[in-house]
Amino acid sequence: MSRTMPRSSLFLRYALLADAIASGATGLLMIAGADLLTRLLGLPVALLRESGLLLVPYVALVAFVGTREIIPLGAVKAIIALNVLWVLGTVGLLVGGFVAPTVLGYAFVIVQAVAVGVLAELQLVGLRRADVVIA
C-alpha cells in the first residue's frame, strides 16, 4: 500500500515547483558559468560544475513529483530529506575548511543554503497541510 495525498494541496505543489525552478536556475548557472563563478566565488570549478550536474536529476524528480495529479507522500519526504542533506553538506563545506571562498563565495553558499532550507520548510508545511490518503 502506498501513501499519497490528494490533488487539493496547492501549497505543496507550488513549494515543489518553486524548488524545481530555483534548483534548475542554480544548476544551470553553476554548470554554464562555472569558469566565471570560480574567479568570483573562490570555489573550485569542478565543485561548481559537479554540484550543478547533481541538480539536473534532482530538478527532474521534483518537477515530476510536483506535477503529478496525486503527489506521492514518500517522494515528498525524500525531496525534503535531500534538501536537508544539501543544507548540511553546504554548511559542512564551509566549516570543514574544504574550500577557501571569497567573501562573495561565502555569501553565495550561505544564501543558497538558506534558500534550500526555506524550500524544505515550505514543503514540510505543505505536507502537513495536505490530507494524507492511502491509495
| Cβ 71 vs Cβ 4: under 8 Å | yes
Q: How many C-beta neighbours within 10 Å does residue 27 have?
A: 20
Provide the pLDDT for residue 1: 45
Q: Structural domain boundaries of the chain?
A: 3-129
Residue labelled with grid coordinates 501513501: 3
pLDDT tens for the chain, 135 residues: list them. Answer: 456 555 558 899 999 999 999 999 999 999 999 999 999 999 999 999 999 999 999 999 999 999 998 888 899 999 999 999 999 999 999 999 899 999 999 999 999 999 999 999 999 999 888 765 444
Determine whether 120 is exposed, middle or buried from the number of CB atoms within 10 Å of its CB (0-12, 13-18, 19+): buried
Residue ranges with strand state E in the chain: 3-5, 71-72, 133-134
- Pairing state between β 133-134 and 3-5: antiparallel
pTM of model > 0.85: yes
What is the pLDDT at residue 3? Answer: 62
